[in-house]
Amino acid sequence: VSERILPGAARPATVYLVGAGPGDPGLLTVRARTLLDACDAVVHDALVAPELIALLGARPRPPEIHFVGKRGGDDASASQEAINQVLVSLARAGKSVVRLKGGDPFVFGRGSEEAQVLAQAGIAFEVVPGVTAGIAGPAYAGIPVTHRGMATAVTFVTGHEDPTKPSAQTDWPALARSGSTIVLYMGLRRLPTIVRALVSGGLSPDTPAACIQWATTARQQTVA
Amino acid sequence: VSERILPGAARPATVYLVGAGPGDPGLLTVRARTLLDACDAVVHDALVAPELIALLGARPRPPEIHFVGKRGGDDASASQEAINQVLVSLARAGKSVVRLKGGDPFVFGRGSEEAQVLAQAGIAFEVVPGVTAGIAGPAYAGIPVTHRGMATAVTFVTGHEDPTKPSAQTDWPALARSGSTIVLYMGLRRLPTIVRALVSGGLSPDTPAACIQWATTARQQTVA
């Protein structure tokens, strides 16, 4: 990225798109920990464990903390633009920014959209992958997502899309037949519709299933 | 787990089934780092980055290191039994063991088989999830595995299974139609057969594809 720097203007700093992992602070990566210990600003949403944010206050010089939470997702496009704007403004002010996202930034995290915005704005960025809840939540519940001879594939799929929409991108009947372990992210709201789509697509109603809330935190709840 | 302890016998110690992440030592989790700094023995295979093992030698009291590598996979069932035996023996000798596995222990890592063996032997174990190469490798190559409006699902599938076998567990044609990003683990050897199965199952031959080797290490190579 080459840029003209105005005399006296702050040089845009790097934005780090960082996966915070699924909740347990022990599942943060070493790289994420290092960046959180050194950055000027942290921009996070509601999916990041409160314990992680609380730890930032213990730094000798705590970073600026920007909460840009949204929940539920579907009506959040305006809000995503606001988040993009916060990232660009902080970087242009010369502040190194950790954009902290629950799980992994590129797994249903809209991290790729933020990366596009930063690239278009000529701001350097780095992606730091994280442990995704779809693997770790089941592991904490004693459920391996793959097992030799039983599950040779695992699919992560967003539960935000309505499977009855004609424009639905996921082919649920095909997924039902794929032989894959299916992990729904944010699947609670549309669960009945999705289950109907899978069963009518050929998935046996006897298929073992579990529902996990607050994955890997002390509050994790599992219903099998 | 309740056990009778013979007088003078060492109490079996815990075995930690730990994901080492995809290669970059910065993608190790904080919990994994802590366990590696404190354990008595490390049992690892060829998929764990050499840099991580080298770091263990720098400990004031380095742990025992057991290499139980295997590559290629298919003829490794005897070897898996030998690995299980190493884990059980070390734990019964009272040594805390980190079983370090590339990526995540429950994603094509046979970690769930080792967990079963430990449970049957009455040995306490803990699973520490890791960053999986199927997310991090593409991220380091600039490829998000999901993107709003383009990919609402991602499937991780082992490339070890021959798709032309009548007993194949993965339904490749169904996977081809699922609309999911498809990430093949260890897919190089059977790549031509798998690609044919996907294309004859309906996946467009124009589908963008990338091949990633040595994900997230300094040696990472990507062919798109």
Is residue B70 among the annotated active site residues? yes
Cβ–Cβ below 8 Å for B152 and A157: yes
Q: What is the mean pLDDT of residues A99-111?
A: 94
Alpha-carbon distance values, B172 to A121, A189, B20, B178, B202 (Å): 40, 30, 29, 10, 10
Q: Are B56 and B65 in contact (CB under 8 A)?
A: yes
> How high is the pLDDT of residue B10?
61
Number of A/B CB contacts below 8 angstroms equals 187
Best mutation target, A24, A114, A143, A171, to test chain B (most B CBs within 10 A): A171
Where do we find the tokens 């701001």? A123
Q: What percent of chain A has pLDDT over 70?
A: 92
Flag whether pLDDT at A197 surpasses 90.
yes
Is residue B24 among the annotated active site residues? no
C-alpha A85: how far from its chain's center?
A: 19
Supply φ then ψ for residue A201, to 5 degrees.
Answer: -85, -5
- The Cα A171–Cα B211 span in angstroms is 25
- B26 lies within 8 A of chain A by CB: yes
Structure tokens at A221: 């709840």
Which of B128, B135, B157 faces A106 most closely, judged by CB atoms? B135
CA distance B144 to chain A (A): 5
Q: Are A27 and A102 in contact (CB under 8 A)?
A: no
Between A114 and A69, residue with greater pLDDT: A114
Q: What is the mean pLDDT of residues A84-89?
A: 96
> How high is the pLDDT of residue B41?
97
Q: Are B194 and B159 in contact (CB under 8 A)?
A: yes
- B114 lies within 8 A of chain A by CB: no
In DSSP terms, which residues pair with A194 in a beta bridge?
none
Which of B26, B31, B127 faces A139 most closely, judged by CB atoms? B127
Name the band, by pLDDT with cuts 50, 70 and 90, for residue B26: very high
Nearest Cα residue in chain B from A35 = B26
Q: Mean pLDDT for chain A?
A: 89
In DSSP terms, which residues pair with B100 in a beta bridge?
B18, B44
> How high is the pLDDT of residue B1?
37
Query: What type of residue sits at position B11?
Result: R
Tell me the angle at which helices B111-120 and B77-92 cross, rounded to the nearest 10 degrees: 50
Per-residue pLDDT tens over the stretch A28-48: 999 999 999 999 999 998 888
- A103 lies within 8 A of chain B by CB: no
Per-residue pLDDT tens over the stretch B145-181: 999 888 899 999 999 887 777 777 888 999 999 889 9
The answer for residues whose C-beta is within 8 angstroms of residue B87's C-beta and 6 or more apart is: B15, B43, B97, B99, B114, B117, B118, B123
Helices (H), B42-110: 50-56, 77-92
The answer for residues whose C-beta is within 8 angstroms of residue A95's C-beta and 6 or more apart is: A13, A39, A40, A41, A64
The answer for residues whose C-beta is within 8 angstroms of residue A171's C-beta and 6 or more apart is: B177, B178, B179
In which element (H, E) is residue A192 found? helix A191-200
Structure tokens at A9: 């203007």
> How high is the pLDDT of residue B130?
98
Cβ–Cβ below 8 Å for A27 and B24: no
CA distance B9 to chain A (A): 30
SS3 at position A118: helix
* ipTM of the prediction: 0.89
Residue A34, CB-side half-sphere exposure with 13 Å CA sphere = 10
> How high is the pLDDT of residue A162?
76
Helices (H), chain B: 30-38, 50-56, 77-92, 111-120, 133-140, 172-177, 191-200
Is residue B165 among the annotated active site residues? no
- B154 lies within 8 A of chain A by CB: yes
Structure tokens at A49: 């464990």
Cβ–Cβ below 8 Å for A26 and B146: no
DSSP class of residue B214? S
Cβ–Cβ below 8 Å for A148 and B113: yes
- B157 lies within 8 A of chain A by CB: yes
Q: Are B136 and B185 in contact (CB under 8 A)?
A: no
Please report the residues numbered 162 through 221 in chain A whose beta carbons come closer than 8 angstroms to any beta carbon of chain B: 169-171, 174-180, 216
- A113 lies within 8 A of chain B by CB: yes
What's the predicted TM-score (pTM) here?
0.90
Where do we find the tokens 């787990």? B1
Name the band, by pLDDT with cuts 50, 70 and 90, for residue B71: low
